[in-house]
Amino acid sequence: MILNGVRSGSIATRNGGAKEREQRMSVSLRDSVQLVSDPKKLDESVIEVFQLMIGVECRWENKQPVSESETVTSVVGFGGMLSGACVFRSGVTAARKIAEQMTGMEFTEVDDTVKDAVGEICNMLAGAWKGRFPNLAANCGLSVPAVITGRDYNLHVQAPEFQIHHIYRFEDVFFEVTIVCDGIQ
């Protein structure tokens, strides 16, 4: 795998070559963009998080979900060697079901607990995705999740380096996960 700059970078730092370490890691991530942008890594991350953390099996869907009038979106930013975001978006039904699976409680509305659950799912997805790439995992931080609820809103990123967007389903609800990269060092 090309993403191996961390080990050689730490050796260079021990030998006094911080600039060499920085240059080597930048080159290795830039050269590995095809690996980082592989949609299969997103699918693996989603399946893992939903199985391990909330105990449901989900799968990639090749169709648009039935849209609800109100949606819940969480955004976790990436900063470091890669800048961008992991975006989780669902209707209120899926958001409530996720919170129910995580807490064991029932929800009739999108309250703070539901928002916290959606934020935490997005955070886990971002971490699981970046963790699949050792160089990225070691050199890219995550922001605190931001959660947006409502109707008729769009998130826009100008000229991304790459974007991976998939729709998933568990039980009878759908959700979307997007990885957006707007810069690679």
CATH number of 39-184: 3.40.1550.10
Q: What is the pLDDT of residue 124?
A: 98
pLDDT tens digits for range 107-157: 999 999 999 999 999 999 999 999 999 888 899 999 999 999 998 887 777
DSSP-assigned states of every residue in 13-68: HHTT-HHHHHHHHHHHHHHTHHHHT-HHHHHHHHHHHHHHHH----EEESSPPPPP
> What does the alpha-carbon distance between residue 14 and residue 75 come to, in Å, rounded to a whole number?
37
CB 139, CB 55: distance < 8 Å: no
pLDDT tens digits for range 86-97: 999 999 999 999
pLDDT (mean) for 77-87: 94
Domain ranges of the chain: 1-31, 39-184
Q: What is the pLDDT of residue 180?
A: 95
Beta bridge partners of 170: 173
Share of the chain above pLDDT 90, in %: 63
